[in-house]
Amino acid sequence: MAKISVADKLGVNKFNVYEEKSHIVIDKQYPDAAEVDRVVRICPAALYTADANGVRFDYLGCLECGTCRVLSGGKVVTDWQYPVGSFGVSFRKS
């Protein structure tokens, strides 16, 4: 199989995006780069990115696994809820 990007992988999924607000809240200026890197690498959907300006997070494409919540223990991820009912990802094959 040809390698495809994580963004393209997410592109095959069905999402019903809740535009009003993110179900996950992060600390964009979290000071510890090593801690941020752990969250960046653990998210299966690669939704966290970090650069000199801080952490960026895109909740569209979230698989709702909760991994970032468990790893972060309240540090980078400050609040984690499920999306509003019926919104978010809908798996059809898994």
Partner 1 sequence: MDEKFDAIVVGGGLAGLAAAYAMAQEGLEVILVEKGVTCGSKNVTGGKICSHSIEKLFPDFGETAPLEREITKEVISSWRAEGISDAGIDPQHFGLTESRSYTVSRAKLDAWFAEQAEAAGVMMIQGIVVNDLIVREGKVCGIIADGDALEADVVILAEGVNGLLAQSLGMIPELMPEETCVGTKEVIELGEALINERFGLADGEGVEWMAIGDTADGQYADGFLYTNKDTVSVGVEFLISDIDKTQKSIPELLEDFKALPEIAKLIDDGLLVEYASHLVKKSKSDKIGKLYGEGVLLVGDAAGLVANAGWVVRGMDLAVESGRLAAEAVIRSNASGDFSEGSLASYQKAVESSFIAADMKICADYLNQ
Give the C-alpha separation, 63 to 88, whole Å.
Answer: 8
Closest CA to 32 of 47, 49, 56, 54: 54
Which residue of 36, 55, 68, 76 would you call a contact of ligand SF4, by CB under 6 A?
A: 68
Instruction: Output 78 or 81, the one with its CB closest to partner 1.
Output: 81
Query: Residue 53 and residue 55: Cα distance in Å, rounded?
Result: 7
- Distance of closest approach, residue 26 Cβ to partner 1, in angstroms: 17
64 lies in the binding site for partner 1 (CB under 8 A): yes
Length of the chain: 94
Residue numbers at the binding site for partner 1 (CB under 8 A): 1, 3-4, 6, 9-10, 12-13, 16, 38, 40-46, 63-67, 69-71, 73, 81-86, 88-94
